[in-house]
Amino acid sequence: MLENYFSILLFLIVGFLVGVVPMLCGWLLAPNNPDSEKLSPYECGFEAFEDARMKFDVRYYLVAILFILFDLEIAFLFPWAIVLDEIGLFGFVAMMIFLSILVVGFIYEWMKGALEWD
């Protein structure tokens, strides 16, 4: 029973070694001589003046979510278009329902002003 899992264990060990051995070699073999210039923060040629953890407007995230939503829509449309002859009218109606739900959501977002940018 356990011999069936030996290949999985071997795969995990090799994957671990491929990830860890190069890092260890770099840590052991690379020269390590930091100075104040190397350790100083750098931002466009001058010292940092603002915290890197500043708040972003929620519209950035909303636009990103909308992009992912419509990108996934395209990911569903390509396979559907390829097998449309095989799935027939049922597949066509199912995709039209799917697209109509997306269009209703898009219109809702548009009407709420989520796509407006100041």
pLDDT tens digits along 77-118? 888 889 989 999 999 999 999 889 988 988 888 888 877 776
**What range does the domain containing 26 cover?**
2-112
Residue 46 pairs in a beta bridge with 43
Domain count, the chain: 1
Q: What is the pLDDT of residue 19?
A: 95
| CA quadruple 15, 18, 24, 27: dihedral sign | negative
- Residue of 116, 117, 105 whose CA lies nearest to 68: 105
State pTM to two decimals: 0.48
Whether 82 is covered by a domain: the verdict is: yes
CATH of the domain at 79: 1.20.58.1610
pLDDT in tens, 2-56: 788 999 999 999 999 999 999 999 999 988 888 877 777 665 666 666 666 777 7
Pairwise CA distance, residues 80 & 91, whole Å: 8
Whether 118 is covered by a domain: the verdict is: no
> Which two three-digit tokens encode residue 50?
């603002």
Q: Considering the chain, what is the average pLDDT of its residues?
A: 84
In single-letter form, the type of residue at position 37 comes to E
